[in-house]
Chain A
Amino acid sequence: MIDTDFPHGTIKGYFPKESDIIDLSSTDGQMRLFDSILDHPERDYVIDLEAHHLERFFSIFEDIGYDKAATEAGMGVAVFFFLDRTLASIQAAVTLRGRLTSSQFVLVRNDAIGAFRAPVYGEYELVKIGMDRQIRLPALSADALDFVEDPSFNFTDFIMQRRQGLPEWLSDELWRFLETIYQQQPIGTAESLFSA
Chain B
Amino acid sequence: MKPTVIMVGADKGGVGKTTTSRALLDYLARKNMPARAFDTENPRGTLKRFYPDITEIIDLNSVADQMKILDTLDSAAVKVTIVDLKAGNLSSSLDTFDRIGVLEAARHGQFDLGLIHVVGPSVASLDEINEISDYIKGINYVIARNFINETNFFEWDEKTFKKYFADLPDATEIDIPKLNEMAYEQVDLAGATFSGFVENKDARGSDANFSFVLRGYVRKWISDLDGEFSHLSLLQNLGRASRETAAKPKAEPQRAAKK
Interface residues, chain A, with chain B CB atoms under 8 Å away? 27-28, 30-31, 34-35, 38, 60, 63-66, 69
In the docked arrangement, what's the CA distance between A63 and B212, Å? 11
Q: Using a CB-CB cutoff of 8 Å, which residues 173-187 of chain B contact chain A?
A: 180-183
Asked if B189 CB lies within 8 Å of chain A CBs, one says no
Given contacts A27-B180, A27-B182, contact A35 B211 (CB under 8 A): yes
Q: For A69, give the chain B residue with the smallest CB separation.
A: B212
Query: At the interface, is chain A mostly helix, strand, loop or mixed?
Result: helix
Which 5 residue pairs of A and B lie closest in terms of their CB atoms, listed nearest first?
Answer: A64-B216, A63-B220, A27-B182, A31-B213, A34-B213
B216 touches A28 (CB 8 A): no
B181 touches A64 (CB 8 A): no
A38 touches B212 (CB 8 A): yes
Asked if B17 CB lies within 8 Å of chain A CBs, one says no
Q: How large is the interface on B (under 10, 10 to 19, 20 to 34, 35 or more residues)?
A: 10 to 19
A64 touches B217 (CB 8 A): yes
B residues in contact with A28, CB < 8 Å: 182
Asked if B79 CB lies within 8 Å of chain A CBs, one says no
A-B contact pairs, 21 of them (CB 8 A): A27-B180, A27-B181, A27-B213, A27-B214, A28-B182, A31-B211, A34-B212, A34-B216, A35-B211, A35-B212, A38-B212, A60-B213, A63-B216, A63-B217, A63-B220, A64-B212, A64-B213, A64-B215, A64-B216, A64-B217, A64-B220
Q: Kindly name the residue among A28, A38, A64 whose own CB sees the greatest number of chain B CB atoms within 10 A.
A: A64
In the docked arrangement, what's the CA distance between A30 and B217, Å? 11
Q: Kindly name the residue among B180, B216, B217, B219 whose own CB sees the greatest number of chain A CB atoms within 10 A.
A: B216
Given contacts A27-B181, A27-B182, A28-B182, contact A65 B213 (CB under 8 A): no
A residues in contact with B180, CB < 8 Å: 27
Q: Closest CB-CB distance, B177 to chain A, in whole Å? A: 12
In the docked arrangement, what's the CA distance between A35 and B213, Å? 7
In the docked arrangement, what's the CA distance between A109 and B90, Å? 62
B residues in contact with A65, CB < 8 Å: 216, 219
In the docked arrangement, what's the CA distance between A38 and B211, Å? 10
**With A35-B211, A65-B216 already in contact, 13 other A-B pairs whose C-beta atoms are closer than 8 Å:** A27-B180, A27-B213, A34-B212, A34-B213, A35-B212, A60-B213, A63-B216, A64-B212, A64-B216, A64-B219, A64-B220, A65-B219, A69-B212
In the docked arrangement, what's the CA distance between A125 and B247, Å? 51
Q: Closest CB-CB distance, A29 to chain B, in whole Å? A: 10
B residues in contact with A69, CB < 8 Å: 212
In the docked arrangement, what's the CA distance between A29 and B12, Å? 35
Q: Closest CB-CB distance, B241 to chain A, in whole Å? A: 32
Q: Using a CB-CB cutoff of 8 Å, which residues 198-235 of chain B contact chain A?
A: 211-217, 219-220
A31 touches B214 (CB 8 A): yes
B residues in contact with A66, CB < 8 Å: 212, 216
In the docked arrangement, what's the CA distance between A63 and B183, Å? 13
A residues in contact with B217, CB < 8 Å: 63-64
Q: For A27, give the chain B residue with the smallest CB separation.
A: B182
B residues in contact with A31, CB < 8 Å: 182, 211, 213-214
Q: Kindly name the residue among A27, A34, A60, A65 whose own CB sees the greatest number of chain B CB atoms within 10 A.
A: A27
Contact mask B27-66 → A, CB, 8 Å, 1/0? 0000000000000000000000000000000000000000
A residues in contact with B215, CB < 8 Å: 64
A residues in contact with B183, CB < 8 Å: 27
A30 touches B213 (CB 8 A): yes
In the docked arrangement, what's the CA distance between A63 and B213, Å? 9
In the docked arrangement, what's the CA distance between A38 and B213, Å? 10
In the docked arrangement, what's the CA distance between A35 and B210, Å? 10
Q: Closest CB-CB distance, B16 to chain A, in whole Å? A: 20
Q: Closest CB-CB distance, B107 to chain A, in whole Å? A: 42
In the docked arrangement, what's the CA distance between A38 and B217, Å? 16
Q: Closest CB-CB distance, A91 to chain B, in whole Å? A: 25
Q: Closest CB-CB distance, A66 to chain B, in whole Å? A: 7
In the docked arrangement, what's the CA distance between A166 and B181, Å? 54
Q: Closest CB-CB distance, A33 to chain B, in whole Å? A: 8
In the docked arrangement, what's the CA distance between A53 and B132, Å? 47
B residues in contact with A60, CB < 8 Å: 213, 216
